[in-house]
Amino acid sequence: MTDVVTLTLNPALDLSTSVNRMIPDYKLRCKEPRRDPGGGGVNVARVISRLGGDVTAVYPAGGPAGAMLRRLLQNEGVASHAVLTRQDTRENFHVFEEETKQQYRFTLPGPALSRSAWRRCHSAIIRELHTSKYIVCSGSLPRGAPEDAYARLARQAKQVGAQLVIDGSGPSLRAALKEGVYLAKPSLSELRQLTGQKLDTEVSWIKVCRELVAANAAHIIALTLGSQGALLVTREITLRAAAVQIPVVTTIGAGDSFLAALVWSLMQRRPIAEALRIAVAAGAGALLEPGTRLCTRKDIERLTPQVRIEEI
């Protein structure tokens, strides 16, 4: 029995490095590169594992990049179920410019997901539904994946009493919310895309999140707001968390770290306000690490007391 299973249909091998300055046309001498396993659900699994949670990552993998992705997860001690494919796993490239402290993120398109690979990923999750407490579907859908992939899993999760968590965008998020999920973690830009509204005030954020909860789209809406912190809404409570004031090295993986710590805290039956506090600390912790390292347990524990929570 696994407490948490994550699904990443468009995983990546993340390559990060740094240069003194980005200059067009010049041959730029990069610093030593770092490679990390990536993709929404993969990152969530990495952080939950660091927190001591019982988690398995399900994802398709193919080619040399896919083999390295599997090896890197194994090296981190993250249990995984890799669905082997003929298509090469995509790679992403991140460059940190040392002079300006700015980051440049190059996200490559993933391969099309074959029907066979989708069926095997779907079957792997279905097998886990009966024995897992949480199913986390996170990340973009690749070409070839059904638009309602997450919605199908939400429907099946409800039938067996599993809690489905979604961090998606566009049609996949819309379909899953129509079916109803346990927890949804949109960013502000994703919520704007979902609703077609400007949502330029805190009052509008709260109103939309409460409407989604009232419509049974999700039991919990966790809205991440970047440098403005986060908002968490249930039927019983609305909580506002301020961002931790820290020097930002990178924003890569902050949302995944937030979601991982939130799911882990709920799995530990922490009070909802404490779960939000830990999640915000995890998101902040990811900002401290260059490249795609994500947050550490040590940073989460250090930053958690600094998170201010207000009930609205």
Catalytic residue numbers? 256
Q: Which of 235, 309, 240 lies closest to 274, judged by CA? A: 309
Helix (H, G, I), strand (E, B) or coil at 67: helix
- Contact yes or no for 141/153 (Cβ under 8 A): no
DSSP symbol at 291 = T
Classify 245 as helix, strand or coil.
coil
* DSSP per-residue string spanning 162-215: PEEEEE--HHHHHHHHHH-EEEE--BHHHHHHHH-----SHHHHHHHHHHHHHT
Determine the 3-state secondary structure of 82 from DSSP: strand
The DSSP call for residue 35 is E
Interatomic CA distance for residues 185 and 168, integer angstroms: 8
Residue 255 and residue 167 in contact, taking contact as beta carbons nearer than 8 Å = yes
Please say whether the beta carbons of 145 and 9 come within 8 A: yes
H or E element at residue 122: helix 115-129
Task: Write out the two tokens for 250.
Answer: 């990178």
